[in-house]
Structure 1
Amino acid sequence: MLCSHFDAGRCRSCTWLGTPYGEQLAEKQRLVEELLAGHPGTAWLPPAASAQLGIRNKAKMVVSGTVEDPTLGILNPAGAGVDLRDCPLHTPGIQAALPELAAFVTRAALTPYDVAARRGELKYLLVTESADGELMVRFVLRSQEPVARIRKHLPALLERLPAVMVASVNLQPEHKAVLEGEREIVLTGQESLRMRVGGVALHLRPQSFFQTNTAMAAELYRLARRWVGEVAPRTVWDLYCGVGGFALGLAGPGREILGVEISREAVASAERTRDEAGLSGVRFEAGDATAYALGSGAPPDLVVVNPPRRGIGSELSGWLEASGVRHVLYSSCNAQTLVRDLESMPALRPVRGQLLDMFPNTAHYEVLVLLERA
């Protein structure tokens, strides 16, 4: 028995949990190779396996129930809360913190948001754990009304959970399926969580994206360093750079790197990591990746793209096709959109690839592909 909630039918978020892990991995590899069958020259490395449990470094918990008896987890089809504070998918530090956070909801009198009635305050608890066991806790609220109570009881929470380095409130007043709003109120002196990955201590601010599987993220960046090292580009662009995982990991003597990311929070995080690490030749810009490429002058030797599930789209694909860029490193969480993008840049052919099981027990994955101009 891997998960009592899955076995009881209370939660089926890990849709493949009932499938033996070896079969999960083989099926993902088969699906990806089948999707890229139109590119027979791709040399596939064996898939990178993940642990099945205790790997998710971020918990996104819907808060339901009552102040006296809150549930942290998901909503069932009837709209009732299902408590998953002991979910074995989360890292041990998150599993240990969630019961304390549930007790904090009661102490601070944070009324869980009732979706059907459209009343209440606390919508979500978002908890992230670093590889060093440090935590960031975010309270997603409907309004500022409970903030004073959170501030009042926060010192006691920090005593009970000394691993909490960053605590904040996110305001999401709208009644719609959006996890968080634009405004963030940081409640602690420290504003970012250090995510140590592959020798680089990345800074993660509250609204910055980071891969949810730290071990697989480290493997992804290690693989990227090896492949990029073999083609030895002098200039690199990291488009959709996030907090700078690829850009900072690829930095080295004689190499100029530019990271472009639309989130200013993420760019601020990347710049802080760069400055603390003393990395020269690396700069970041806040802006749209496609707009930056289309408005640029001379292209770099290599471009890294790590887009969301929708892929990079026809405009950026078309620019890459016409640009003369020798190599593209494409990190994709959706091979269907990867294949669509490849159709728009036939001169850039996949020469090697590897699937990384970033999301075990589900149909999702990350796949890294190196493209080379024919």
Structure 2
Amino acid sequence: MKERTGPGRVPSKSPQAQSKPNRPGPTGRPGKHTSGAKPEKAVPKGGAEDLKPGDKLVVTIKRLGINGEGVGYYRRKAVFIDGALPEEVVKAEAVDIQPSYLKARLSEVEKRSPLRIEPPCPVFGICGGCQIQHLSYEGQLAAKAELVREAFERYAGLKDLKIQPTLGMDRPWDYRNKAQLQLVRRDGELLAGLYEAGSHEVVDISGCPIQHPQVNAAVAKVKAVLDELKIPLHHEAGAKDGVRTVVVRHGFQSGHLQLTLIATTDRLPRQEEFIRLIRQELPDLTGISLNVNPKKMPLIFGERTILLWGEEAMKESLGDLEFSLSPRAFFQLNPAQTVKLYEAVRAAAGLTGRETVVDAYCGTGTIGLWLAPYAREVRGIESIPEAVEDARENARRNGRANASFFVGEAEELLPRWAKNGLRPDVIVADPPRTGLDRRFLDTVLRIKPQRFVYVSCNPATLAKDCKVLLDGGYRIESVQPVDMFPQTSHVECSVLLKWGGCK
């Protein structure tokens, strides 16, 4: 599970992803609500192809889409409506009409879902970080399992696939250990937030309910000190130099607090005063760093990081694993759920201590290191050299001598290893949202490991790749969704496939 999501604009390649959310009203639903009212006829006549923007529709919502929008059908054409929930009958206005789908804006809920609730966040539907706060947590878990089920039915032709209940949290709030927020001044007030979906307007998310309270408190104090010292922001009053972003990370186990400011230059105005004041305000700080990023690009971090005070890296744990995290180092955003996910992977791998395991797309090696005590050997593959260095250091720090990590593309290294005689008993793959390369899948089908554990954050590519393996002789033994990011539409999944011989 890579760091791919969280508060902020939600990336997606699906056609329905970019419509602006509709903010629910004070009763937890948009607009007027007439429970049990008989739905009126839709205004437009003719087929769905005759619709025009502005036409009024009445739609019964069947399910949630991958971005948390309600999905229904109007004359056999899929309709995507932000803010609508399954089993609701809603009135909506067509806003974007495409040959195979249309998007509509919710105007009224005629028949309300019993699972609809009032979202607690005042900027829900605006900041774009959470898509389904208006759905009860029970409903969220069920909807995420349904997203996985629907993907396997659509892309793998499996209508009766057994899916385990989604592993959720006892408290689905305060779980994010890291905030990465843009800084702007508006009407004299310094704001820290995220870009509103489809725009460059920053939405202030002070007190975000899914961030850990320590993170929220630290961000608030950083803003106050920056404001007190009048430290300029990037592009403020036309200035090219200045602070762009504040990044705060809190160690749930260690209690450490790490602060990184991202600026266009390698020194802050009034830098020594800033360090002195922020240390007074945040006594738990273990390190303050300045990352330099003068370029206009979508990447938040630049290539150079300067330590201003304290320790360069903070310590944190995941189970019995200990990590040292530099400001740019990847670490799971929801540690509690990460343990549940990794335990699901370990159970699926069925290790006895005699197996050779390949951990493909391994990142900083967390899954492989989690499995290493239960395997004979673990080999990790990752294309990013810095991540491999982190994985090797993590292995040394934790005494995982049977775990080794290699730089390369999984679709190139695995075939090379196979050609040289490697026959892993278990392969674990945790690829990006785009899924597995066909060369990798073909190698898996050629070397036929007894168990293949697929970890994915994209149900569509997961199901498509599993279809290739199913056609090649594998069978699905278990499907375990895990709720890594409550209040969002994202779902992680661990699937166990076993070799069963060709059909």
Which residue pairs with 1:269 in the alignment? 390
Residue 119 of structure 1 aligns to a residue whose secondary structure is: coil
Matched, 1:353 2:479: yes
Matches of 1:4 and 1:118 in 2, distance apart?
33
Structure ranking higher on relative contact order (CA contacts 8 Å, 6+ apart): 1
Which residue pairs with 1:61 in the alignment? 181
Give the 3 Å change call, closer, same or farther, for CA 155–222 of structure 1 in structure 2. Answer: farther
Query: What letter is aligned with 2:266?
Result: Q
Assess if the C-alpha contact under 8 Å between 1:118 and 1:175 holds in 2. Answer: no
Matches of 1:359 and 1:31 in 2, distance apart?
15
Query: What letter is aligned with 2:123?
Result: F
CA shift, 1:333, in A, is: 0.5
Query: What letter is aligned with 1:246?
Result: I
Residue 367 of structure 1 aligns to a residue whose secondary structure is: strand
Which residue pairs with 1:312 in the alignment? 436
Which residue pairs with 1:135 in the alignment? 257
Structure 2 counterparts to residues 65-76 of structure 1, below 5 A: 65=185, 69-76=189-196
Query: What letter is aligned with 1:81?
Result: V
RMSD between superposed Cα atoms in Å: 2.7
Q: Which moved more, 1:334-343 or 1:289-298?
A: 289-298
CA shift, 1:292, in A, is: 1.9
Note the residue ranges of structure 2 that are not aligned, 5 or more in a row. Answer: 1-117
Which residue pairs with 1:206 in the alignment? 327
Which residue pairs with 1:26 in the alignment? 142
Query: What letter is aligned with 1:299?
Result: R
Note the residue ranges of structure 1 that are not aligned, 5 or more in a row. Answer: none
Give the 3 Å change call, closer, same or farther, for CA 27–101 of structure 1 in structure 2. Answer: same
Q: Which has the higher helix share?
A: 1
Query: What letter is aligned with 2:163?
Result: W
Q: Which moved more, 1:58-67 or 1:206-215?
A: 58-67
Structure 2 counterparts to residues 143-158 of structure 1, below 5 A: 143-146=265-268, 149-150=270-271, 153-158=274-279
CA shift, 1:122, in A, is: 1.7
CA shift, 1:168, in A, is: 2.2
Which residue pairs with 1:163 in the alignment? 284
Matches of 1:254 and 1:219 in 2, distance apart?
19
Which residue pairs with 1:226 in the alignment? 347
Give the 3 Å change call, closer, same or farther, for CA 303–203 of structure 1 in structure 2. Answer: farther
Matches of 1:204 and 1:236 in 2, distance apart?
26
Matches of 2:477 and 2:453 in 1, distance apart?
11
Query: What letter is aligned with 1:353?
Result: V
Matches of 2:187 and 2:394 in 1, distance apart?
39
Name the TM-score, length of structure 2 as normaliser. 0.68
Matched, 1:301 2:301: no
Which residue pairs with 1:366 in the alignment? 492
Q: Deviations over 1:168-207 (max 9, x none)?
A: 2222222232222233333345333323112212333322
Matches of 1:188 and 1:13 in 2, distance apart?
32
CA shift, 1:17, in A, is: 0.7
Which residue pairs with 2:401 in the alignment? 280
Matched, 1:184 2:305: yes
Give the 3 Å change call, closer, same or farther, for CA 40–124 of structure 1 in structure 2. Answer: same
Residue 303 of structure 1 aligns to a residue whose secondary structure is: strand
Q: Which moved more, 1:188-197 or 1:148-157?
A: 148-157
Assess if the C-alpha contact under 8 Å between 2:288 and 2:310 holds in 1. Answer: no
Matches of 2:227 and 2:236 in 1, distance apart?
19
Which residue pairs with 2:127 in the alignment? 11
Give the 3 Å change call, closer, same or farther, for CA 363–143 of structure 1 in structure 2. Answer: same
Give the 3 Å change call, closer, same or farther, for CA 258–54 of structure 1 in structure 2. Answer: same
Query: What letter is aligned with 1:245?
Result: T
Assess if the C-alpha contact under 8 Å between 2:351 and 2:374 holds in 1. Answer: no
Give the 3 Å change call, closer, same or farther, for CA 114–234 of structure 1 in structure 2. Answer: same
CA shift, 1:359, in A, is: 1.4
Assess if the C-alpha contact under 8 Å between 1:85 and 1:95 holds in 2. Answer: yes
Matches of 2:301 and 2:383 in 1, distance apart?
17
Matches of 1:156 and 1:81 in 2, distance apart?
26
Task: Work out which of the residue numbers 349, 352, 357 in structure 2 matches 1:236.
Answer: 357
Matched, 1:119 2:245: no
Q: Which moved more, 1:246-255 or 1:28-37?
A: 246-255
Q: Deviations over 1:44-65 (max 9, x none)?
A: 3221012321111111211111
Which residue pairs with 1:333 in the alignment? 457
Q: Which moved more, 1:350-359 or 1:268-277?
A: 268-277
Residue 247 of structure 1 aligns to a residue whose secondary structure is: helix
Q: Deviations over 1:296-341 (max 9, x none)?
A: 2313211111112111222222222222222111110001111222
Aligned residue pair count: 372
Query: What letter is aligned with 1:181?
Result: G
Matches of 1:227 and 1:262 in 2, distance apart?
25
Q: Deviations over 1:242-269 (max 9, x none)?
A: 2221111111266111122233333333
Q: Which moved more, 1:188-197 or 1:14-23?
A: 188-197
Which residue pairs with 1:47 in the alignment? 166
Q: Deviations over 1:6-57 (max 9, x none)?
A: 36x6534211111111111111111201212334685432210123211111
Query: What letter is aligned with 2:398?
Result: A
Percent of residue pairs bearing the same amino acid type:
28
Give the 3 Å change call, closer, same or farther, for CA 120–355 of structure 1 in structure 2. Answer: same
Assess if the C-alpha contact under 8 Å between 1:243 and 1:267 holds in 2. Answer: yes
Q: Which moved more, 1:36-45 or 1:70-79?
A: 36-45
Give the 3 Å change call, closer, same or farther, for CA 326–78 of structure 1 in structure 2. Answer: closer
| Higher Cα Rg, which structure | 2
Matches of 1:114 and 1:60 in 2, distance apart?
18
Q: Which moved more, 1:321-330 or 1:165-174?
A: 165-174
